[in-house]
Structure 1
Amino acid sequence: MKLSSHKLDRRNRFELSMTSMIDVVFLLLIFFMTTSNFVLTERNLDSTIKVDRGSSNAPSELEPVIIEVVRVDDEDVFRLGGRTLKTADELTQVLSSMPPTDDGAFVRVADDAPFGMAAAAIQACRAARILMVSYIPMETTQ
C-alpha cells in the first residue's frame, strides 16, 4: 500500500533550521546572566549583629525598651528598667536621652493601672520618636 505519491529520496531530506533555536538559547543565556548579577551572594551580605569590643560595660542595644505602668505604695508610676518615674514628662525625657532603636518599645500595663497612665506612656514614646509602640497587658499572678 502506497501512502504517498512522492518518492522518498535520500538527497531530499527534511532539515530543521537551527537559527531560531540558537537565538532562543542565547536569549536564555543572557536572561540568566543578567538576573544572577543582581542577587548578592550570602557571603557578601553584612551581618546584622555587630560586636563593639570597646564598650563591654555599656548597656546593650539589643535590650528592648519595656515601660511598665504599675501601682507602687498606692501611687501609679512608670517603671523603665531600674528607674521609677512619676510623671509622663520625666518618662519622655528619659526616653529621649536613650539612643534610637529600631525595635520600638513595649508598654506593659497592670490591671489596676488607670487608662490615662497607659495612654501617657504610649504618648511619651511617640514624643521620644519611638515609632513602633506595642501595648501588652501585664500577666496577673493569682
Structure 2
Amino acid sequence: MKKTLLIFTLFLTGLSFSQDSIILSQENANEKGITPMWPKCDRSRQTPAQCFDQKLRDHIIHNFEYPDLALSEGLSGTVTVEFIINKKGKVEVLEVDGGHRYLQREAIRIIRAIPKMDPGKWGEKPIAVAYVVPITFIKPK
C-alpha cells in the first residue's frame, strides 16, 4: 500500500508540474515492455526486464563495500532505496529507509553509480520508471 501510494503521489506530482512527466513502477513498466535499457542489454538473449534485473544485481554485488565505520561499530541491517531512472536515463534517488546512516550512505553511493542508460519509452516518448531495491548489510565474521 505504501509503495502504491508513493507511485501514485509521484505520478500526480509529475502531472501537476508538467504534462511531459510520466513515472511508472517497475511492475507496470515490465508489463508494458517499456523497461529502461541497461548498457549492452540490447544484445542480450534475456528480455530487457530480465537483463535489467540481472545487471542491477551484478552492479550492487560488484560495487558493494562495507563501510569501515559500520564495521567498527558492528552495524548491520537492510536499507531500502527508492529511485527512478529518469527520462534522460539517469538515476535519481527518491527515498532511503532502514539501517544506520552509514549503511544508508553506502546504499545511496551504490545506486548513484548505476550507469546512464536508455530510458523507458511510452511509444517514442521517454518516461521515468521507479524502482525499490533492498540492500542487506550482514556484518562479516
**Shorter-chain-normalised TM-score: which range?**
under 0.3
Choose between structure 1 and 2 for higher RCO, CA contacts under 8 A separated by at least 6 residues.
2
Flag the structure with larger Rg. Answer: 1
Give the structure with the higher percent strand: 2
Give the structure with the higher percent helix: 2
